Amino acid sequence: MSLVRLFYPKTIAIVGASQNLDSIGGQPIKYLQKYGFKGNILPVNPKYSEIAGLKCYPSISDINEEIDIVLVAVASKRVLSVVKECVEKKAHFVLIFSSGFAEIGNVKEQQELIEAVKGSGTRILGPNNQGIVNFVEGIPAGFNPLLDAEVVRKGNIGIVAQSSGMGFASIGFAIERGLGISHIATVGNQADIDIMELIQFMLEDEHTSIVTCIIEGVKPNSRLPELAKLAKQKGKELVFLKLGRTAVGKKASMSHSGSLAGDAEVFDAFCQQAGVISVKDMEDLIDVLVGLQGKRPGGNRVVIATETGGSGILAADICDEFKIKTPGLTEETSSSLRKILPSFASVQNPVDFTAQFFNEEDLFRNCLLEVVKDSNIDVLMFSFGPTRGKVAEKMADDIIKVSKTLTKPIFISWLTPEQPFFKKLRAANIPLYPTPYRCVRTLGYIMRQESSMMSKEEKSASKPKHAVQQAVSLTEYQTKKMLEKYGIKLPKGGLATSFQEALNLSAQIHYPVVLKLMSPQITHKTDAGLVILGIKDEQELAASYNALLERAGTSFPQAEIEGVLVEEMVQKPVAEVILGIKYDVSFGPVMIFGLGGIFVEVLGDVARRVLPLTREQAFGMISSIKAFPLLNGYRGRPKGDLEALADTILNVSHFALEQQDKFAEMDINPIFLMPEGKGVICGDALLIPR
């Protein structure tokens, strides 16, 4: 059912309505009247006959109209009976403000609410939320003191907030920064209507072009990837503030909204891939929303202009930290500036316009006009010092005038508290920040998203379909044979079930060879001494073969023996790498890539990506680990076959996507990365069945 009536209702009933208009049951009445809601407001409370000049009904069933929204502000133990009445009455939406459900462990009580509406046309938002406000038409179907204190401007930002307080807090800061809001929906425990449905509504709402979501957990099998695609199609922006990122935060989140917070690293990996912005604090959220009011940068080259050397340096330092380029100006621009500016001005990047424009009226505008012409830059960033007063206002006016003629964005850091003329800059949609750090950080967020958007190809390598046997307790040999079907290269060799077969295989593949005992009951072969490396000749082969069977017989008398895997000893790899697959409840299969051993385990030097991947993203994954130089011809050593590695990543990705019902985890470790042109070889592989 569409959520349109939830956001654009004609009739709103309030159960638990109160004559105290500051209480939870009173606030919605006060705000609906204040905002001039044109529909019907229907207070419900058997204690009163009238509230704030409106007729008050004893119960929902006493109302003789179609009801779009029922707001519920009664004690938790009374909620279920109210919901049942609403179903009876065929009300469209029930917004339950009351707390005391799954967020404090009362899962059964919450389940009863879900059961009560099941199969009916009635849907629930909440419990444990603060409602919905439509600022476009002025319909505050919620409660929060902010609605009393502030005038919220209509605008292009829609907010979906799991934590109601955080949602309304974001509006407070948005007002301060001159931003306008279309809707806010607070979500609470998501017993029925969930975050994704609300995001979808906002993506489809004509008044909303930026959807902000303050989220704690993403539910299993989330529709988020689909919504990210929808946002892209519609040319709208999605910006997330994810709470519960750390172990401590997750625990707190659990007790606050009764939902699991999920893995923040996977969430960030998804966002990066999907061209969605993921911020970490309220302030960077608001800063990004300000930045998205401006034009979009076409690349990541920034020229910094300043009138105060120090703030230019600070901005340059921070650009470097966020990997934003600050190339020099073209010779043409430099020499034009030289002609205008005093000799002590720097015409590098940062460009120092100097305080000389205090004395020369048109100097600032003339410099500005030269700099924006430069073909080397995508963004002009002003990093101003504390200049204020009339001179500063004229600078702002010049910027506004010039900006109108540009396709490039202008971003400003102005190291001074709020000035009256800042309003003009905001009205002209020129992003404005109090410090270089916040300005550059915002550019970093927006540019990362842009570059992700640009590099994302929808085409993905073709996916072969294979019939694969059921996955229970596969041996290394069986696992490798499955992987081979997906194009993953194995060491030369095969399974021997007698010494003679082992002898023949070894002769074919040439010594030295490796022997590994295969049994579905023995997964940790190396620890059990069931792998022997570097066998040089027939004599050693015989001794090793017998030793393996003996050890297995002694240590694992019950184990079925599939045979002995005979493989070539892979010589001189450039590196041993790891590919792992984990299944994330929200996003499905996630790939992990890194160098073997301590690189992953001690140093945590890994790259993560949500599947599927494009070939370009596979390369991005390879080159994003810190140890990448070791794969790429470090200190005269041979360069690894990165093309083959990328292919293998895609092949493993196909495998993982197709087989995700059967396996909980996969670990290919090591993969031998051979020198260029020599491919990669799967050394060992382990699948953990579901």
Residues 596-615 interacting with its own copies (rule: CB under 8 A) = 598, 602-605
Q: Is 387 in the site for its own copies (CB under 8 A)?
A: yes
Q: Is 676 exposed, middle or buried (0-12, 13-18, 19+ CB in 10 A)?
A: middle
Compute how many other C-beta atoms are within 10 angstroms of the C-beta atom of residue 12. Answer: 25
Contact between 374 and 330 under an 8 Å Cβ cutoff? The reply is yes
Q: Is 314 in the site for its own copies (CB under 8 A)?
A: yes
Site string for its own copies, 137-156 (x = CB under 8 A): -------xxx-xx-------
Q: Distance between CA atoms of 273 and 455, rounded to whole angstroms?
A: 9
Contacts to its own copies from residues 165-194, by CB under 8 A:
165-166, 168-169, 171-173, 175-176
Residue among 304 and 502 whose Cβ is closer to its own copies: 304
Q: Is 164 in the site for its own copies (CB under 8 A)?
A: yes
Q: Is 54 in the site for its own copies (CB under 8 A)?
A: no
Residue among 2 and 344 whose Cβ is closer to its own copies: 344
Q: Is 319 in the site for its own copies (CB under 8 A)?
A: yes
Q: Is 448 in the site for its own copies (CB under 8 A)?
A: no
Q: Which of 80, 490, 503, 627 binds its own copies (CB under 8 A)?
A: 627
Q: Is 388 in the site for its own copies (CB under 8 A)?
A: yes
- The CA distances from residue 51 to 48, 54, 362, 436, in Å, are 7, 5, 62, 52
**Residues sharing a CB contact under 8 Å with residue 625, sequence separation 6 or more, in sequence order:** 593, 594, 595, 599, 605, 606, 607
Q: Is 19 in the site for its own copies (CB under 8 A)?
A: no
Q: Is 435 in the site for its own copies (CB under 8 A)?
A: yes
Contacts to its own copies from residues 483-542, by CB under 8 A:
none
Q: Is 350 in the site for its own copies (CB under 8 A)?
A: yes
Q: What is the DSSP letter of 137?
A: T
Site string for its own copies, 451-490 (x = CB under 8 A): ----------------------------------------
Residue among 35 and 437 whose Cβ is closer to its own copies: 437
Q: Which of 108, 235, 247, 467 binds its own copies (CB under 8 A)?
A: 247
**How big is the chain by its Cα radius of gyration, in Å?**
32
* Alpha-helix residue ranges (DSSP H) falling in 235-322: 247-257, 264-274, 282-291, 309-321
* Packing angle of the helix pair 642-658, 615-623 (nearest 10 deg): 120
Min. distance of Cβ 679 from its own copies in angstroms? 24
Min. distance of Cβ 195 from its own copies in angstroms? 13
Compute how many other C-beta atoms are within 10 angstroms of the C-beta atom of residue 196. Answer: 19
Side chain identity at 527, as an amino acid letter?
D
Residue among 255 and 498 whose Cβ is closer to its own copies: 255
Min. distance of Cβ 68 from its own copies in angstroms? 26
Contact between 39 and 93 under an 8 Å Cβ cutoff? The reply is no
Site string for its own copies, 23-42 (x = CB under 8 A): xx------------------
User: Could you tell me which of 509, 512, 534, 530 has the C-alpha nearest to residue 521?
Assistant: 530
Q: Is 245 in the site for its own copies (CB under 8 A)?
A: yes
Q: Which of 48, 59, 80, 100 binds its own copies (CB under 8 A)?
A: 100
Q: Which of 50, 62, 226, 283 binds its own copies (CB under 8 A)?
A: 283
Residues 431, 427, 420, CA angle at the centre, nearest 5°? 90
Q: Is 661 exposed, middle or buried (0-12, 13-18, 19+ CB in 10 A)?
A: exposed
Q: Distance between CA atoms of 579 and 516, rounded to whole angstroms?
A: 21
Contact between 213 and 199 under an 8 Å Cβ cutoff? The reply is yes
Contact between 150 and 172 under an 8 Å Cβ cutoff? The reply is yes
Q: Distance between CA atoms of 85 and 63, rounded to whole angstroms?
A: 11
User: Could you tell me which of 622, 660, 666, 629 has the C-alpha nearest to residue 644?
Assistant: 622
Q: Is 312 in the site for its own copies (CB under 8 A)?
A: yes
Q: Is 251 in the site for its own copies (CB under 8 A)?
A: yes
**The token pair that represents 474 in the structure block:** 């596969």
Q: Which of 65, 115, 320, 550 binds its own copies (CB under 8 A)?
A: 320
Contacts to its own copies from residues 73-92, by CB under 8 A:
76
Taken in order 287, 282, 224, 200, is the CA torsion positive or negative?
Answer: negative
Residue among 46 and 386 whose Cβ is closer to its own copies: 386
User: Could you tell me which of 303, 331, 683, 388 has the C-alpha nearest to residue 531?
Assistant: 683
Give the number of residues in contact with its own copies, rule: CB under 8 A: 95
Min. distance of Cβ 343 from its own copies in angstroms? 7
Min. distance of Cβ 383 from its own copies in angstroms? 10
Q: Distance between CA atoms of 345 and 307, rounded to whole angstroms?
A: 9
Cis, peptide link before residue 612, omega less than 30° from 0: yes
Q: Is 163 in the site for its own copies (CB under 8 A)?
A: yes
Taken in order 480, 484, 489, 492, is the CA torsion positive or negative?
Answer: positive
Min. distance of Cβ 517 from its own copies in angstroms? 23
- Helix or strand (DSSP H, E) at 115: helix 107-117
Torsion angle of C-alpha atoms 503, 505, 508, 511, degrees rounded to 10: -70
Q: Is 358 in the site for its own copies (CB under 8 A)?
A: yes
Q: Is 594 in the site for its own copies (CB under 8 A)?
A: no
Residue among 435 and 523 whose Cβ is closer to its own copies: 435
Segment contacting its own copies (CB under 8 A): 387-395, 453-461, 528-536, 665-673? 387-395
Q: Using DSSP, state whether 222 is helix, strand or coil.
A: coil
Q: Is 343 in the site for its own copies (CB under 8 A)?
A: yes
Q: Is 243 in the site for its own copies (CB under 8 A)?
A: yes
Min. distance of Cβ 457 from its own copies in angstroms? 30
Residue among 9 and 385 whose Cβ is closer to its own copies: 385
Min. distance of Cβ 261 from its own copies in angstroms? 8
Min. distance of Cβ 443 from its own copies in angstroms? 14
Full 3-state SS string of 52-81: CCEECECCHHHCCCCCCEEEECCCHHHHHH
Strand 69-72 relative to strand 93-96: parallel, antiparallel, unpaired? parallel
Residue among 90 and 280 whose Cβ is closer to its own copies: 280
Site string for its own copies, 195-234 (x = CB under 8 A): -------------------x-x------------------
Q: Is 280 in the site for its own copies (CB under 8 A)?
A: yes
Q: Is 373 in the site for its own copies (CB under 8 A)?
A: no
Segment contacting its own copies (CB under 8 A): 404-412, 490-498, 532-540, 626-634? 626-634
Q: Is 309 in the site for its own copies (CB under 8 A)?
A: yes
